[in-house]
Amino acid sequence: MDAPNASAQRALWLRRTQGIAVSLSLLMLLAFVYTAVRRLRYPFELDRMESAMMTSVWRLAHGQPLYGKPSLEWAPFLYAPLFFYASLAMSKITGLGYVALRSVSLLSALGTAAVLYLHIRRETANTVAAISAVGIYASLYSVALGWYDIGRVDSLSVFLFVLAVYCMRFAPPPIAAIVWVLAFQTKQGFLPIGLLAFVVEWRRPRRMVLNMAIYAALAWLSIVWLQRTSGGWYSYYVFGTVKQLGISRHYAVLYLPYDLLQPLPIALLLCAMALMVRPIRWSSQRGFFYVWFTLLITGSIWFARAHEGSYVNTILPAYVWLVLVAGIAIARLAPLDAQSPLPGLLWLMVIAQISMHLYRPIEFDPSPSMLATREHFLDIVRGVPGDIWLTSHSYDAILAGKPLHAEMDALDAVLEKDPQVAAEVREAIAGKHFTAILLDHEPETYSPAWLFNGPPFTSGYRQEAIAPMNFVNTVGDQPSLAFLPCDIPATAAQSLLMPQTFARQGQCPSGAQ
């Protein structure tokens, strides 16, 4: 083969591998959108905490405060408020329901993809690398267990985070400060990150200190305003209850090999290759920007991940940052790839990284049987007389016309801290106030330990049933165990909970009935 033909073949192969990488990236983005849209109007929670998020927005829509004195009736999650108000605004368009929260998350995830593309395209002028990075980000939907479109604070906070980074690089610092405050008021873990972000200006100390002061002043003003409008309860939840979380050595040790390296091995390899063959000048403003943010983001997320209660959503900002850096690395390697003896190898590596996380949208779609079972269960709850405590599904109680009660994921953070709330809960259980208490898990798994694993609960309630969700493949945790007061005769209890869908499992302690 002569030289011109060989050159043409190399160019053709390079274009084809690039085309496959771009096509696969767009396919993954479309797969995410398709999956998210299919899940958008599912009328029940996709995640165990989505119900309380929905209840928070429901309270705002009905003129009730988000933050207030904790009680058995209501205790909010320890999150900043922006997501809830954004969802409230969205509900004016979509109607009040999970669709409003999931729409905010879906649009936020698409916004994150757009900012990734714009950042890499502006930094490198390489469109294919920017699209490839979007594809890698979209492919991590399965790694994130479908978290991108769940009606929780995370997708909005990640979008505001990556937008703040973009503004740090390409916009006036005061604009970045405003966006950092918005990210903080979506998820408070971004408060110190926003301040430390301005260290990138260390060569200009006055500018650095000024921008830090602007950010600190804006953050302080937002805190003061929310404190006043919440009657002082904002800081109790957003800052006070976080101290209850302990350190998990397991998560701390596995952060690098399991959370980062396992899902992004090729992307991180591309970053290392780019550093070796086209090293950046660490002392340059651009070089220090990416080095500092890599240390800041991965270190901050490691610290958050090392706490008990952290989950895959904690890692999302680190994923987005590493994808952004990988996109820049791809662009830096692209010219060398075109001249190498194996042109297209770079794009084959990109294709391999995206292909690692191919998934079928149906894997994240609630099944028709799940929907039917949840609707049937809601009918059962609606038909049971008296008060029922759905300990992890407060919005189900609202839909069933039952009194609202706090969810355990929020209540457990204040029970040890507030003796009055603990006494209120004990009194309600001891007085057998509830016709039924429904748990998602075994009683001994709940915190504090005395709540469902000791008196007065164990002496006053018996496990009478396994709810039908125990027998259906579910999305997220579902109400599975039903406990009824011991003074209700077994025959009455079976009738109460419709025996065709519940099976008797336990009995009261001797002499308790």
- Paired residues of 439 in beta bridges: 481
Q: Is 231 helix (H, G, I), strand (E, B) or coil?
A: coil
| The pLDDT of residue 442 | 87
More confident residue, 188 or 7: 188
More confident residue, 492 or 385: 385
Residue 496 has pLDDT above 50, yes or no: no
| The pLDDT of residue 244 | 56
More confident residue, 150 or 379: 150
Q: Is 439 helix (H, G, I), strand (E, B) or coil?
A: strand
Tally the residues of the chain.
513
| The pLDDT of residue 510 | 56
Q: Which among 386, 374, 401 has a CA at the least distance from the CA of 437?
A: 386
Mind listing the pLDDT tens digit for each residue in 202-252? 999 999 999 999 999 999 999 999 999 999 999 999 987 655 567 778 888
| The pLDDT of residue 211 | 95
Mind listing the pLDDT tens digit for each residue in 266-302? 999 999 999 998 888 877 889 999 999 999 999 999 9
Q: Is 447 helix (H, G, I), strand (E, B) or coil?
A: coil
Mean pLDDT of the 427-456 span: 90
Given pLDDT bands bounded at 50, 70 and 90, which one contains residue 475?
low
In order, the DSSP letters of 183-212 are HHTT-TTHHHHHHHHGGGGTTSHHHHHHHH
Residue 472 has pLDDT above 50, yes or no: no
More confident residue, 86 or 449: 86
Give percent of the chain with pLDDT exceeding 70.
91
Q: How many CB atoms lie within 10 A of CB 481?
A: 22
Given pLDDT bands bounded at 50, 70 and 90, which one contains residue 112?
very high
Q: Which among 251, 228, 189, 244 has a CA at the least distance from the CA of 411?
A: 244
Residue 466 has pLDDT above 80, yes or no: no
Residue with tokens 């008990």: 308
More confident residue, 330 or 78: 330
The CA-atom distances, in angstroms, between 395 and each of 52, 74, 366, 500 are: 7, 12, 18, 25
Give the DSSP H or E segment for 463. strand 461-466
Q: Kindly report the backbone phi and psi dihedral angles of residue 434, in degrees, each rounded to the nearest multiple of 5, phi listed first.
A: -95, 135
Q: Which among 116, 143, 148, 141 has a CA at the least distance from the CA of 324?
A: 116
Order of strands, sheet of 436-439, starting from the edge strand that comes earlier in the sequence: 388-390, 436-439, 481-485, 461-466
| The pLDDT of residue 476 | 63
Given pLDDT bands bounded at 50, 70 and 90, which one contains residue 2?
low
Mean pLDDT of the 393-401 span: 94
In order, the DSSP letters of 245-312 are --B-HHHHHHIIIIIIITT-HHHHHHHHHHHHHS---TTSHHHHHHHHHHHHHHHHHHHHHTBTT--H
Is the pTM of the predicted complex or chain greater than 0.75?
yes
Q: Which among 84, 389, 75 has a CA at the least distance from the CA of 241?
A: 75
Q: Within its chain, how far is the Cα of 147 from the centroid? A: 6
| The pLDDT of residue 361 | 92
**Which contacts qualify for 232-240: CB closer than 8 Å, 24 or more apart?**
233/65, 233/67, 233/68, 233/69, 234/67, 234/81, 236/67, 237/67, 237/76, 237/77, 237/78, 237/79, 238/78, 238/79, 238/80, 238/188, 239/188, 240/417
Calculate helix-pair angle for 154-170, 190-197, nearest 10 degrees.
10
Q: What share of the chain is helix, strand, coil (3-state, %, to 5)?
A: 65, 5, 30
Distance, in Å, from the CA atom of 242 to the CA atom of 258, rounded to the nearest integer, reads 25
Pairing label, strands 436-439, 461-466: unpaired
Least confident of 163-172, 330-339, 417-426: 330-339
